[in-house]
Amino acid sequence: MLGPKVSFKKAKLPSKKKLIGKYCFLEPINVQKHSKDLFNNFLKDKKNIIWTYLPYGPFKTYVSFKKWLKSSCLKKDPFFYAIYSKKYKQYCGMASYLRITPEYGVIEVGHINYSPILQNTTAGTETMYLMMKNAFEILGNRRYEWKCNTLNTPSKNAAKRLGFKFEGVFRQMVITKGRNRDNAWFSIIDKEWKKLKKGYLNFLKSSNFDKSCKQFRKLKLH
């Protein structure tokens, strides 16, 4: 018994085009343009919590951070974005597409690193919506993935809030910073996107926020 036949040619690769929303926009990483803002805003996390589950960082100096951006964040895969908050008028976070497999229409979102001023904000939620919309509607993917350390409870909760479905745990998948990492896997597939998009758009309506950008209704996707 085999699965149903699929009429699918190939997804597109991420491009240099900006992803623009009401509260933020995303630009492919430009070291000269983005590095200073990003470094200074990441420093606002005094306890370096944002780096705990990432395979790199924290960076003690601007020089080391800039060097890492040049060596690791200018590739086609992972494809990194800098996140600009219109409220703060600064670049204050990063995210990427990775494990990009256009022949199957599969792409993952990851390397998500929000500085303290981007965490728990409308711009932070909109960032994930913009990347998801781009993955399905512009690039034409069939499957959108999220994986994280299974010990990373905030990341697992974020995936569920954003509409991802839990698929299971890959045990002893990698070694990160000298420690074992079991990966929890989540996904959204193309046929689920239409309903999820409606929920995001209802949440992101201007009428859902007061003058200080405080929400009246929480994001509802299920």
- The residues that bridge with 33 in the sheet, in sequence order, are none
Give 104's Cβ-side CA count (13 Å radius). 10
Backbone CA torsion sign across 12, 98, 131, 16: negative
Supply the pLDDT for residue 213.
Answer: 76
User: Which residue ranges make up each domain of the chain?
Assistant: 19-208
Homologous superfamily of domain range 19-208: Gcn5-related N-acetyltransferase (GNAT) (3.40.630.30)
Global pTM value: 0.96
Cα 159 from chain centre: 10
H or E, element range at 193: helix 190-204
The rounded distance, in Å, linking the Cα atoms of 41 and 93 is 8
Both tokens assigned to 202: 């209802």
Q: 100-147, pLDDT tens digit by residue?
A: 999 999 999 999 999 999 999 999 999 999 999 999 999 999 999 999
Q: 45-90, pLDDT tens digit by residue?
A: 999 999 999 999 999 999 999 999 999 999 999 999 999 999 999 9
118 burial (CB, 10 Å; 0-12 / 13-18 / 19+) is buried
Sorted by sequence, the CB contacts under 8 Å of residue 93 that are 6+ apart come out as 38, 41, 82, 83, 85, 112, 113, 114, 115, 118, 124, 127
**Rounded to whole angstroms, what are the CA distances from 103 to 79, 192, 209?**
17, 20, 40
